[in-house]
Amino acid sequence: MWSKLVALAQDQSYQRLALTLLISAALHALLFGGFDFSLPILKKEMHTIEARIQIPKVVVKEVETPMPEPTAAYEPVMESPKEAPSKANIEAHPEQVPESIIETPVVAETPTESQPITQPPIENTAPEPPQEESQSVDAGLVINENAYQFVETKFDVRTKIDGSVEGSATITYNLTDGNHYRLKWLTEGSGFAALLFPDLLQVSEGFLIKIGLQPVNYLYQFGNKTEKTRTANFDWPNKKVIMQTSKGMKTEDLPEGAQDLLSFMYQFMHVAPLQNMQIPIVTGKKLRVYHYSFEGEENINTEFGEIKTMRIMHSGVDSDEKTELWLAVDYQYVPVKIRKIENNGGVVEMLATRINSNRPTIN
């Protein structure tokens, strides 16, 4: 029997059969016996490192506005809102953004340092005339806040340019109660001239408002000659001026900033010349806009010294009438020389002999 086994082992066909059976048995052992593959055991001193990928959640905190205790000057103070995710991040990762971020409550804009909280202007409690409501402040004008409250100027009067003195004049400006002004001009002849020429009286009364003088009543009286007497009443609420002469009454529309023949000369004390050289002036007979031109600076000699002046002039459009004013630069542009040339060639020239800005005391 052993010989038969040896013969079978030497037979190539049986060898191939045996090899096939061995391979089949090995495959069965692998498939049905299980597959076990394990890493080598780590040493005790080595540590296990675990890494996890986790998407952070976006948390949006609500902005709370602290409520301060009420005070007399209460102003709400708000905290600046927390920084929210940018628009780019929201568009790139919409799945990471909670629904609450889509409808964020609108928070009122909080003033920053560049936008300070401003208090409303405090109204002046001092009484002011109602006429001021009819005029608005021109933001382009520079107002002299320290103008004289009282100033009196005395003049020599001549009827020829650089002629002999034939009379005297006094112009007094007086501001009372801080807002009511009265201007008085009185010209009196001296010597033989007093027999030929009656006194001339001009009076202007009104209020001092934010843009200077605002006349209410004006009087021009030449002696006792009623035909040369005229008045003007300024109705600022209704923007009308009523002028009265011996020939009757006339009413015209009242433009803003209008002056009378006397007040306009002292308006320069509040609004310096060259700021406004087109002035509506009421003469008592008519109202028209006077255009003044700047004739330069000039030093004039007076009894109280050399005075630096600014010379301005108005010339009639269709006449030879001319009015010139020399305004004292160092005396708040108070007129110190006045020259009036009439259509018939007549001249009245006034030159200051004294300026007093101290209000006289009453004993």
What are the structure tokens assigned to 261, written together? 């023949």
CA distance linking residue 229 with residue 224, whole number of Å: 8
Per-residue model confidence (pLDDT) at position 23: 66
Which residues have CB under 8 Å from 88's CB, separation 6+? none
pLDDT at position 223 is 86
- Residue 250 or residue 15, greater confidence: 250
Helices (H), 220-270: 263-267
Between 257 and 57, residue with greater pLDDT: 257
**pLDDT tens by residue, 186-212:** 999 887 777 677 899 999 999 999 999
Q: What whole-number distance in Å separates Cα of residue 176 and Cα of residue 239?
A: 25
Count of other CB atoms within 10 angstroms of residue 286: 13
Q: What is the pLDDT of residues 98-148, one digit of tens each?
A: 444 334 343 334 434 434 433 333 333 333 454 444 344 455 678 899 999
Q: Does residue 280 register a pLDDT over 80?
A: yes
Distance, in Å, from the CA atom of 101 to the CA atom of 68, rounded to the nearest integer, reads 29
Between 102-106, 259-263, 337-341, the lowest mean confidence (pLDDT) is in 102-106
Burial of 83 (0-12, 13-18, 19+ CB in 10 A): exposed
Map out the domains of the chain as residue ranges: 158-356
